[in-house]
């Protein structure tokens, strides 16, 4: 996955509220280190068949958290290693995570460089999972430890932006997200 696509995904996740739909689930995250905070929000879980990736994202106020899971074959109960976003799609089962935090005078973006996402299936067939990660600031390299949960979600087909990666030389990274709800 190219860096421009990843940046656009995090921007879209942080700037648009996921639609409330039945079965969309929830996401909780907590982080400590260079920055400290927590969030809880409804989430979306959208499968892109072309890229063979599950995009999960949630937004609470100005804070956004997103992850992309790359399965070997299909999304199911498994453990996904968190890798830096560039290259995560070439080493399934793997995952990439991003966190956008807004404080009183700065916006800070973090991307995961290690850890795991473990999925399990509940009694009703819905998926849940636990996130344990280390994430690095994309601006200054500072670290945060991230723990989180995703719960009771069903996967829906992705309706926006599902296709080949956005070209790295794209001047406007949001242009490749046709139909994306970006502010």
3-state secondary structure of 81: strand
Output the pLDDT for position 76.
Answer: 86
- pTM to 2 decimal places: 0.77
Output the pLDDT for position 172.
Answer: 41
What is the rounded average pLDDT of the residues 124-129? 90
Percent of the chain with pLDDT over 90: 57
Please say if the pLDDT value at position 151 is more than 90: yes
| Total residue length of the chain | 183
Output the pLDDT for position 17.
Answer: 41
What is the rounded average pLDDT of the residues 90-108? 90
Q: In this structure, what are the phi and psi dihedrals at residue 83, rounded to the nearest 5 degrees?
A: -125, 165
**Cis peptide before 9, with omega less than 30 degrees from 0?**
no
- The residue that leads in pLDDT, 52 or 173, is 52
């Amino acid at each position: 996955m190219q860096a421009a696509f990843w940046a656009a995904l995090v921007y879209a996740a942080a700037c648009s509220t996921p639609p409330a739909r039945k079965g969309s689930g929830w996401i909780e995250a907590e982080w400590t280190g260079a920055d400290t905070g927590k969030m809880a929000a409804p989430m979306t879980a959208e499968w892109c068949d072309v890229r063979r990736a599950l995009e999960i994202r949630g937004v609470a106020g100005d804070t956004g958290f997103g992850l992309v899971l790359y399965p070997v074959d299909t999304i199911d109960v498994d453990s996904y290693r968190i890798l830096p976003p560039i290259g995560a799609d070439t080493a399934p089962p793997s995952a990439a995570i991003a966190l956008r935090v807004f404080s009183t005078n700065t916006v800070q973006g973090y991307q995961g460089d290690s850890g795991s996402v473990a999925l399990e299936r509940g009694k009703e067939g819905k998926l849940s999972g636990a996130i344990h990660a280390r994430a690095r600031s994309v601006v200054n390299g500072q670290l945060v430890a991230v723990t989180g949960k995703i719960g009771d979600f069903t996967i829906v087909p992705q309706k926006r932006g599902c296709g080949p990666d956005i070209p790295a030389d794209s001047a406007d990274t949001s242009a490749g997200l046709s139909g994306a709800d970006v502010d």
